[in-house]
Each structure stands twice: as C-alpha cells, then as structure tokens.
Chain A
C-alpha cells in the first residue's frame, strides 16, 4: 500500500514544522505556499538577490527565522515544495491550485492547513487614502522589499505588533512620528501577571516599548478617535487622546490595524466547523490542542485557526503532523506528544492574557460615520449597511452582503468582514456572535479567467 498523500498549505512557521515532522516519519508531504520563499508573513524573506542581514529584518527573532527558512531546503527531496502556488479551493479531498498563472489540482488523504493570519482592519476617516497601510503591510514592505511606507510614519494599533513595527521602522531609519495604541494602558497592566507566563516575550514587548520611548515621536494609549487627513495622499494623522483632546501630527504614511484575523477561508471551504471566540471576537475553525478539526481529514496549525503567534505556530505545526501520523497508524514518540501538549497549554494561558491586554477597540467601530467607506473593494459605506439592517431587515452579514455588496469584491470580505459584523451587531443591539459569519466561496483570492490547464 502506498503512503497516504499529505498536503500542507502554507510554508510559514506552522507549515514547515509540520512538513519536517512528516518527512522525518518517512512520508513525503506536499507543501503549497503562495510566496516565492518560505517563512510566512512573520519571517517573510526578501526575494533572491535582495537579501539583508537577518538581524535587520527579524530583530530578536533572527535565529528562529533562519531556522524556519532552512527547514524545507534541508529536507530536500523528502518534501515536495510548491512555492508561488495559491490554493484557491478545497472540495472533498482535492485542492485547486494556481501556480504562476496555471491551474492545477492535488488530491490528498490528509490536509494540514497552516494558512496564517492578516491584519484586522477598522475603517476610520481617511483609511482609504494612498499612504495608509496595515501594520502587516508596512512590515512586509520593509522585510520583503526593503522599503519604508514613508519618510515620516505614524503607527496606530491594538496589539503587540505595534511596538515591534515601530522599533523595526526606527531601526531602518524611518522617522516614526507617532505610536498610538487604541487600547488603554490599564488593560495591559491588569494582565501583567498572565503575560509573565511567557517572560521572554513579555520582556521583548517592554524592550520595544522602551526603545520607542527613547527615540522621540509621540506615544499615546487609549486613543479614542482617529482620522487621516490629506488631499489625495496622507498629510497628517489626527487623534483624540484618552484626555479627550485632539492632537495632530504631520506625516506622509500611516500604518494602522487592530489585531489579527485568521485566514480561515480554506478551512471554511473544507467544511470545518467554526466556533466564536468571545475574547478576540472572531470566528475560527474549531481545533483540538493536537490540531484536529471537525473534519477527520483536515488538521489546523498556526494562526489560521486562532492567533497564537510564531512560536506557538511552530509547536502547532509539529503537533498537527504528529496527529496525522497517529491517525494513519504510524508510531509517534509519546513523550514528545506530551511535551508539545504541555508547552501549547502554557502558551495558551499567555495568549489569553495577551488578548485581554489588547481588547478589541469597539469604540472605534461605534464611531464609524454613515458616509465612511466600509467595503473598499465595492465602495460601499457604513450607512448602506445600517440601512440594510434598519430598513431592509437584514439580521446577519450574509444578508447584508446580498443587499449591499459589502464583502463581495476582490477581497471577499477579508478586509471588511469583521467590521461589518461588528456594525451589524451594534445596529441590532445584539452580540457580534449573532451577526453571522461571511460564507466562503471559491476562489479564496482572485484567479485569472485565462488560467488554462497547468
């Protein structure tokens, strides 16, 4: 009997560790990744020929990045690596792929989804102006292309990424004119004990915060309102502080996003059951500590099924691979399984504290004006959403989508879906868990009409 085919989607920390464990067990997993080189978003690599020192790109994590980057090349022929390949659909036990513009397919017996995360976006006045990026987008510009999003840059956020990116930009020579956290500092102070469950990570956060403090520029917590001003491009960031006073800083670029969201579209198409997480206020595919989903042939690792960060993703990738091996009747090292499970439990406690330290800034959602663009792809305003709820009886996001086109454009709601659900909940006066979840449809990202057969 031939070995079962195990496909892995994503070559970030979770995906490569899953591939490594499967290859070590003698299987030859197939790793699909959209990027040209392994590493995912967190350890994204510059294109060949544009390399720079790891310390510049990844700071404290340079060693981890180097280690993750090396996994697939070290495995050589023991894995099948398919870079530059978008997996745009899962149906039954088949993946639909797109490589360099050509269509292909891959049947599988087991599937490990390590699809990662992207920024969570909340619209604010001026958010669609050229020069406004997500924090993740600003990081990718720096890591992959070696460019800054501007000369005078302001960052706004709600999460541990904020001090990190400010540090990275300052180190790269950009003038960081403001670092604004929309969550109150008190929320972080309250969670200090839980954060100490992972002292190294906590210390890094303090380090970045302290470093930023030394470098000038404005820092603020508990920002209540913000807007970007400019005529055709970013010229200034204006915010209302915790003290209720309005502040302004001239800048030519803004990085802003509010936590992360899982890229869970493939899990959705694979038929995985989702659950609502009240802490992060988002839906994610259900998974066990071992990475098993509600579907017997589908496993979930990394940030694609709930945010845990890169270190957790590596552990989850390896653990999910061991689960695959267990389930196909291969021997696994029980002590390693126990060790991984214990480490993951420890990390989960830290994560809970971290999420509580950076609560979702719902005050920003509540202040979205009717004339604000909510769905950037289709150019639909928040007012259109409110009208669909109030006047047309829409009670959840799929109905809102049908009535207004919100979430129907190029991004298929990846950017606007969360804010749309929050706005529906506010308008209805119900918990966001009752505002629904956008149903996924293939393709998860745009595909060419003229792809032809690969």
Chain B
C-alpha cells in the first residue's frame, strides 16, 4: 500500500547529522520526515571509533568542531541518554622529530581557531603514560577532547526527533528524489515524501543523491577496521592517536580497549562490510608496538562499517549549487562523529535563515566542479576515526 507524507523538510539519511537536523528543524517549527535505509544511527554514525576529537582535524573543520564540542557538554541531558561521554583528553604521539615538528606547527595553527593544545616532551609523556613503548619522542595533548559510545548517540537523536514530532521512518531506502513545482518528491519504496526542503545527509550515498540534481561530488566508501579487547583494568587514561594516524586507541568505562587497524571490506550497495584479517593483525602489531601492556590481552571482536570519503577528506556541507532548497551534509570521511551534533544546528540554520554563522565555505560542493581540483588539503587531515 502506498503512503504519502507532506512535510516542510525531508531528511535523507538518519545518521547523527540527519537526526540532529530533524531535531533542530522541529525546534524551529518545521514539519520533518527522516528516511533511513536501515536503523537510525546504525551506519557510520554508530560503528565508528567513538572519538570526540578536535585535535588533528583539517583546520577548516575546527570552527565546526569547536562549536560541536560545546554541544557535547550538555548533549546527554538534551538526549536523555547516557552517552558515556568522557573528557579524557586526546593525546597525539610523535614517533620522530619530524612528527614533533608537525605537531608543533599544528598547535600554532589550531590556536588561531581557539583550540589550545599542550606540547609534551618525551619525559613528560613517559611520566604521564608510563606504559607507552619507547618509540615516542613527544606528544600534543588536547585536554578538552574525549570519547563517547557511538552506538547510542544516533538512536537517541532519532528518539528525540520522534518525541518532537518528526516522522522518522527506518528501513526505508530512498530510490529517487526529484524537484517538483512545490519542492521535492522523495521515493522510498511505497512511501513518497513531498517536501519544500531536502536535506542530503546520506553518508556514502550523498554523492549519488547529489548527482540526481546534476551535481558532482566524488564519494568513495571508507571502511575503518576496528578491534576491541576484553575488559582490562583501567589504564588508558587518554584517547590516543599518532602522527600518520595508523594507530589509535581508547579504553571504555567498561574496560575494553578499542583500537583501529587499517581498512576493512565493504559493499555499500548491499550494506555489508567485513573486517579484514591482514589489516586486523597489522593493527594489532602496530598497537602492541606502541602499547606493550596489551601483550596478554585478547581481542574479542572486530568490525567495520561504511562511511563516505571525499578526495580531500573533508565533508560536503552547504546549499546545493544547482537546486534551491537542497542542503548537503555528507562525506565526513571517517571523522564525522564529533561533528554530528553541530551539523543539526548548521543544517537548520541553512534551511531557516539561508546562512550559518559558522564558516563552511571550504565544504562547498562546487569545489569538485572546479577545473583542476586537487586533493591538496588531504595531507593536513588526521586519518584517525
């Protein structure tokens, strides 16, 4: 039986950004529908590392990350859900003098955006984290960064959106969307949503949706390969990354140490992904080199998920270049978790006011249309998730 919904805004993609947008749009008085191909918050929003991290981001992302970080302080209360948000600090380790120089440069640059990082010498790192192996020559610490449980954040946003009156429809895969006289018609199986506004927060499918409106945004699937140990006595007091991004770990309140290891396999079309053994074993070895304390630990699970990655590793955010009342927010390239909450506010601002006070020009979709586009910003981006 076919069903029709008519709303002010239709959000395609019920990840954290999409559901947060639904919340913000409802608070602004608009009627909203959210469509997700699976369960809300179960995609990249739900299976990522769980880093609430500003340090190491592409500098263009820092204004968003700074604003989002303030939201995180009260997010659990807003969502009425324990998010296991722990302001553990994030420490980024240097394993060479070149790494250290990179960290110092980044700290100077980040200060321009109001992010204060503390540089730690080798002795200071060793006294603070005595269990680190001997390969570390220094580090930079971001005291206000931390970690949270990604599995509960997106669903909590979806529940809040529902409580506020949004139509949240799960297991509804959008197969087509087109411009109509009054706005948009979005097809999801036997459901048609008519809306004045369309929000594209479709993750790895964001590029496809954009292409339906004549826009080009190259989005590749990205499958971070992740592992977790059995619960261990608490010892990883900070969320930890390294220059180059090939090792990252944190410890949950329960005691499990979560760490990354390369890339998994995935097929976005059928929503299937698998961790890859060689990647997992490599990640285990690299993590062990850095953290010999894990020598006797056991890995109890590995997993991956599918995010959308752009060539320059920063998202697409902003108004469509071709289609009025279409707003994009996708391609977070494996590090969108921390940004998710602020994306709701920014999307709502773009819809209700036509602009946002947060600078988003670098994320314009037009950048991919420009002649001779090069991925020059990629090197500034930390690859930790």
Residues of chain A having any CB pair with chain B under 8 Å: 89, 91, 94, 96, 103, 105, 378, 392-393, 399, 402-403, 405, 408-410, 412, 441-443, 446-453
Contact present for B230 and A409 (CB under 8 Å): yes
| Chain B positions 182-227 with a Cβ under 8 Å from a chain A Cβ | none
A142 to B280 CA separation, bound complex (whole angstroms): 38
Contact present for A449 and B294 (CB under 8 Å): yes
Binds A, one of B3-11, B95-103, B296-304, B375-383: B296-304
Contact present for B300 and A448 (CB under 8 Å): no
On chain A, the residues within 8 Å of B300 by CB distance are 409-410, 412, 443, 446
| Secondary structure of the A contact surface, majority rule | loop
User: Among the listed A91, A399, A403, A412, which residue makes an inter-chain contact with B277, where contact means beta carbons less than 8 Å apart?
Assistant: A91
What is the chain A residue whose CB lies nearest that of B152?
A403
| B276, B301, B303: most-surrounded residue (chain A CB, <10 A) | B301
Contact present for B301 and A443 (CB under 8 Å): yes
* With contact pairs A402-B151, A450-B288 given, residues A408 and B301 touching in the complex (Cβ less than 8 Å): yes
Q: Encode B275-298 as 1/0 by CB contact (under 8 A) with A.
A: 111001100110110000011111
CB distance from B184 to the nearest CB of A (A): 27
Say if the beta carbon of B173 comes within 8 Å of chain A: no
* Pairs A-B, 8 closest by C-beta atoms: A446-B298, A402-B151, A449-B294, A450-B295, A449-B297, A96-B277, A449-B284, A446-B300
CB distance from A169 to the nearest CB of B (A): 32
Contact present for A399 and B296 (CB under 8 Å): no
Q: Encode B254-293 as 1/0 by CB contact (under 8 A) with A.
A: 1000000000000000000011110011001101100000
Say if the beta carbon of B229 comes within 8 Å of chain A: yes
A393 to B170 CA separation, bound complex (whole angstroms): 11
Complex A-B: 19 CB contacts under 8 Å: A91-B274, A105-B277, A393-B155, A399-B42, A402-B152, A405-B254, A409-B230, A410-B230, A441-B303, A442-B280, A443-B302, A446-B300, A448-B296, A448-B297, A448-B299, A449-B288, A450-B284, A452-B285, A453-B281
Contact present for A441 and B301 (CB under 8 Å): yes
On chain B, the residues within 8 Å of A449 by CB distance are 229, 284, 287-288, 294-295, 297-299
Given contacts A409-B300, A442-B280, A446-B299, 15 further A-B contacts (CB under 8 A): A89-B277, A103-B281, A392-B155, A399-B42, A402-B46, A402-B152, A405-B254, A441-B275, A441-B301, A441-B302, A443-B299, A449-B229, A449-B294, A449-B299, A450-B297
Total inter-chain residue pairs, C-beta < 8 Å:
77
A438 to B298 CA separation, bound complex (whole angstroms): 21
A347 to B112 CA separation, bound complex (whole angstroms): 76
A450 to B285 CA separation, bound complex (whole angstroms): 7
What is the chain A residue whose CB lies nearest that of B280?
A442
On chain A, the residues within 8 Å of B152 by CB distance are 402-403
A103 to B281 CA separation, bound complex (whole angstroms): 9
Say if the beta carbon of B17 comes within 8 Å of chain A: no
A200 to B258 CA separation, bound complex (whole angstroms): 53
On chain A, the residues within 8 Å of B159 by CB distance are 392-393
Contact present for A450 and B294 (CB under 8 Å): yes
CB distance from A11 to the nearest CB of B (A): 23
CB distance from A95 to the nearest CB of B (A): 10
What is the chain B residue whose CB lies nearest that of A411?
B300
Contact present for A442 and B302 (CB under 8 Å): yes
What is the chain A residue whose CB lies nearest that of B39?
A399
A446 to B301 CA separation, bound complex (whole angstroms): 8
CB distance from B111 to the nearest CB of A (A): 37
Contact present for A448 and B298 (CB under 8 Å): yes
CB distance from B226 to the nearest CB of A (A): 10
On chain A, the residues within 8 Å of B39 by CB distance are 399
CB distance from A376 to the nearest CB of B (A): 12
CB distance from B155 to the nearest CB of A (A): 7
* With contact pairs A403-B155, A409-B300 given, residues A451 and B284 touching in the complex (Cβ less than 8 Å): yes
CB distance from A298 to the nearest CB of B (A): 16
What is the chain A residue whose CB lies nearest that of B81?
A392
A402 to B41 CA separation, bound complex (whole angstroms): 10
On chain B, the residues within 8 Å of A443 by CB distance are 299-302
CB distance from A207 to the nearest CB of B (A): 42
On chain B, the residues within 8 Å of A393 by CB distance are 155, 159
A91 to B265 CA separation, bound complex (whole angstroms): 11
Contact present for A403 and B281 (CB under 8 Å): no
A450 to B303 CA separation, bound complex (whole angstroms): 19
On chain B, the residues within 8 Å of A442 by CB distance are 274-275, 277, 280, 301-302
On chain A, the residues within 8 Å of B281 by CB distance are 103, 451, 453
